[in-house]
Amino acid sequence: MAAPDAEAGVVILGSGLGGYTLAREFRKLDRDTPITIITADGGEAYSKPMLSNAFAQGKDAQTLALKTAAQVAVELCITVLARHRAVRLDRNAKQLVVRQPDGGETQIAYGTLVLALGADPRPYNVEGNDTVRVHSVNDLDDYAAWRDGLAPGGRVLLIGAGLIGSEFANDLAGAGYAVTVVDPAPWPLGRLLPEELGRELAQALTGLGVTLHLGRSIALLAPGGAVLDDGTAIAFDRALSAIGLLPRVSLAAEAGLVVDKGIVVDRLLRSSDPDVFALGDCAQTEAGPLPYVLPLMSQARALAATLTGTPTMLKLPAMPVAVKTPALPMAICPPPPGAMGAWVVTGSNKDRKALFTTADGTALGFALSGTMVAERQALAKEMPALLE
C-alpha cells in the first residue's frame, strides 16, 4: 500500500485544524516531502470552533465544510485517506495498522509520524442515560447527527454551562430553540469566570430565553424528560452534553509512548519516541493540555518548521480565548494553573473587566465582557507567557 518513497515521508493522524494546519504550514516550507493524512472522519476542512455558533453564521453541517478531502489533497499536494482509522502503532517497524472503509486492514509506513488525534467528549454518566440519546458535538459528523431531526423550535436539554455549552446555548436560543441548561457550577463558565462576569453572562443568556438550572445536576434521565437533584422536571426533545474533552491517548499509550492527561511532548512537540510528534487537543506540552485554537495554530507553525529542518522550540504568549456568546461577548485569558491571587473586577453591568491579580499587584490573567473585550489584545501583551 505504501508508496516507495513514503518511508521518508510524513504521516499525520487526524484531519482537524491541527492536522490540516500543520500540512498547510509544512507545504509553505517544503513542496516535495510526501505527506499522508489518515483520518477516521470524512476529511472535510472545517473549523471546529464554528460548530458551536453555526446558526449565527447561517451554516449547517454541509456548509460548515469549507473544502472536501479531495480538494484539500489537491491544494496541498498531499494524500488524504478519509474514513481510515489507525488501530495500532508499531514503532519498531515504523508503521501503522489502519482499518480501511471496507473493514480490511492495511499497513502504512512512516518516516515521521504526527499525532493530531484530538479529544473525545467526556462521557456523561447518569441514571437513565442508556434510555436517551445524549448527543455530543466534537466533529462535523457529530454536528450533522445533532442537526438532523432537530425540529424548529424544539426543546433542547443542554448539559454543561462551560465554554462550549454556553456557546451552544446562545446559538440554539438565538435560532429559536427552547434551551434548558443544567450545570452544577453556580454560574456559567464557572472555572474561567469570576462571579460578577458569570452572573452577567447568565443574565444575558436568560434574556435570550435560555432557562438556567445552575448549582444543579440531573438525577435521572428518561425519554423526553429529566429530573434534577432538587426534583425539578424538565421536558425536552433532544439532549446535548458539553461537559469537556479527554485527549485521545489510547493509540499512543498502547504503543508505549509516555502519556499523562495527553500525549506528553517536549518543546519541539516530540513525544518520547523521536520519530513521533503530537499537537493539538491530544498533546500535553509543559503548559499542560491546551484545548484551544490559538495554541494549536502556534504548535502547527513551530512543528512545520521543525519537521522541515529548522528545529523550533514552541513558544506561547498569553493567548486570550474568545467566547462566542453574542448575547454577551467575552474574552478570557486564564491565569496559569495553580496561580495564587484574586479577581479584581471593575466596570458595571455588561461591560466589565476582571484582572486575576497577585498580592503584589501583578495581573496574571483576565476576563473581559461587553465593550471591554476591545482591550484584550493590549492586555494579553501584559500577561505572563504560557511558554517563554
Partner 1 sequence: MKKYVCVVCNFVYDPALGMPEDGIAAGTAFEDIPETWSCPDCGVSKADFEPVEG
Contact between 208 and 56 under an 8 Å Cβ cutoff? The reply is no
Residue 200: CB minimum distance to partner 1, A: 21
Residue 293: CB minimum distance to partner 1, A: 6
Which of 6, 23, 7, 8 is closest to 280 using CA atoms?
A: 23
CA 255 to chain centre: 24
Of 249 and 297, the one with the shorter C-beta distance to partner 1 is 297
Of 84 and 324, the one with the shorter C-beta distance to partner 1 is 324
CA 220 to chain centre: 28
Residue 66: CB minimum distance to partner 1, A: 7
Amino acid letter at 321?
A: V
Of 147 and 301, the one with the shorter C-beta distance to partner 1 is 301
Residue 190: CB minimum distance to partner 1, A: 23
3-state secondary structure of 365: strand
- In whole angstroms, give the CA distance from residue 303 to residue 300: 5
Of 190 and 317, the one with the shorter C-beta distance to partner 1 is 317
- In whole angstroms, give the CA distance from residue 303 to residue 269: 7
- Grid coordinates in use for 280? 493539538
Of 241 and 369, the one with the shorter C-beta distance to partner 1 is 369
Contact between 156 and 238 under an 8 Å Cβ cutoff? The reply is yes
- Grid coordinates in use for 345? 473586577
Residue 129: CB minimum distance to partner 1, A: 33
- In whole angstroms, give the CA distance from residue 22 to residue 302: 9
Q: Is 135 exposed, middle or buried (0-12, 13-18, 19+ CB in 10 A)?
A: buried
How many Cβ atoms are within 10 Å of 117's Cβ, its own excluded? Answer: 29
Give bridge partners of residue 355 from the DSSP assignment: 344, 366
Residue 24: CB minimum distance to partner 1, A: 9
Of 157 and 304, the one with the shorter C-beta distance to partner 1 is 304
- In whole angstroms, give the CA distance from residue 380 to residue 263: 28
Give bridge partners of residue 212 from the DSSP assignment: 181
Residue 381: CB minimum distance to partner 1, A: 11
Of 57 and 358, the one with the shorter C-beta distance to partner 1 is 57
Of 66 and 77, the one with the shorter C-beta distance to partner 1 is 66
Binding residues for partner 1, per CB under 8 A?
Answer: 17, 21, 25, 45, 47, 49-50, 57, 66, 293-294, 297, 301, 319-320, 322, 324, 376-377
Residue 47: CB minimum distance to partner 1, A: 5
Of 67 and 199, the one with the shorter C-beta distance to partner 1 is 67
- Grid coordinates in use for 267? 518543546
Which of 327, 330, 354, 332 is closest to 342 using CA atoms?
A: 354
DSSP code at position 386:
S
| Element of type H or E holding 141 | helix 140-147
Residue 76: CB minimum distance to partner 1, A: 12
